[in-house]
Amino acid sequence: MTPKKFDYYSPTSLSEALDLLGTKEEAKVLAGGQSLLALMKLRLAAPKSLVDITKLEGMSYIREENGYLAIGALTIHDMIELSPIVKEKYTLLTDAASKIGDQQIRNRGTVGGSACHADPAADLPTALMAADANFVIQGPRGRRVVSSKDFFLDIFTTAVQHDEVLTEIQIPSLPPHSGTGYIKHSRREGDFAITSCGVVLTTDGGSTCKDVRIALGSIASTPLRFTNAENYLKGKKLDDKTIVEASNQKPDGADPPSDMHGSRDYRMEMIKVFTKRSLKLALGRVK
């Protein structure tokens, strides 16, 4: 199918983009187009105006700031996958970006687009939730910074309003003795996740868990923090038994769908398996 007719705008500054979003009828931001254009072709979305933000200068970068890693919203998945800083310090984002679709998708799709699309089966949102990312949003009412907990509101719904643009994602720096990992479970390479798990783990310098964040994908309407497993692990020795027991906890808020990729019961079982594997992956990477 072809999309319904729409007006196309290609602003070159953020203020121009915000002005268009605020004034044009049923306007939507277009970034890499890897999700939005597919929806438009299927006629599941029919915005009257598209505001293409890809010509905005200075929104594609990965750099270390004081206390966090800053990633511009227009940074493509491929750039995250290949970034040495990301690989060295926030390896779960390398894991997640490298598992998105295929190379063509990773060359076009952006981290901001993936976050704003907020598909619960997508890879970066789950990894960003585990990383406790903050989201910088700019609009006619100014600039605000929203935590992961308040950013992902529902399936395909975030805190970004129709007249706002997500400009940057900030990942807090990790304390010493931290390791991270993200594992996606899918039937074929490049498919969306049946379930997925991202972990950020900090030890006391030995084998005790000082702090941990675990996020699950594809089992609720948003990426879900697995707080029961987190609480179980904190202060405990990270041996095989403890990791298995933590992974077997019940995740509050899990409400996985049953579909052609897997039943609800299968997904609930796979949460245990992939939490365990992701914890072990993160533990093996503790520096």
Choice from 78, 95, 123, 163 touching ligand FAD (CB under 6 A): 123
Query: d(Cα 137, Cα 169) in Å, to the nearest integer?
Result: 9
| Phi/psi of residue 180, nearest 5 degrees | -135, 155
Could you tell me which residues come within 8 angstroms of residue 205 by beta carbon, excluding any fewer than 6 positions away? Answer: 176, 177
In the complex, the smallest distance separating the C-beta of residue 191 from ligand FAD, rounded to whole angstroms, is 6
Closer to ligand FAD by Cβ: residue 73 or 229: 73
Could you tell me which residues come within 8 angstroms of residue 12 by beta carbon, excluding any fewer than 6 positions away? Answer: 55, 56, 57
In the complex, the smallest distance separating the C-beta of residue 114 from ligand FAD, rounded to whole angstroms, is 4
CA distance to 36, 88, 229, 267, 277, per residue, from 270 (Å): 30, 28, 15, 5, 10
Q: In a 10 Å sphere around its CB, with 0-12 CB exposed, 13-18 middle and 19+ buried, how is residue 218 labelled?
A: buried
| Mask for 192-231, x = binds ligand FAD (CB under 6 A) | x---------------------------------------
Touching ligand FAD, residues 31-50 (CB under 6 A): 31-36, 38
Which residue, among 54, 52, 45, has the nearest Cα to 21 in the 3D structure?
Answer: 52
Touching ligand FAD, residues 169-198 (CB under 6 A): 190, 192
In the complex, the smallest distance separating the C-beta of residue 164 from ligand FAD, rounded to whole angstroms, is 7
In the complex, the smallest distance separating the C-beta of residue 136 from ligand FAD, rounded to whole angstroms, is 10
Choice from 20, 165, 215, 233 touching ligand FAD (CB under 6 A): 165
In the complex, the smallest distance separating the C-beta of residue 17 from ligand FAD, rounded to whole angstroms, is 9
Touching ligand FAD, residues 61-120 (CB under 6 A): 73, 100-101, 105, 109-110, 112-114, 116-117
Q: Residue 160 interacts with ligand FAD (CB under 6 A)?
A: yes
Contact 130, 215 (CB under 8 A): yes
H/E element holding 230? helix 227-233
Binding site for ligand FAD (CB under 6 A): 28-36, 38, 53, 73, 100-101, 105, 109-110, 112-114, 116-117, 122-124, 160, 165-166, 190, 192
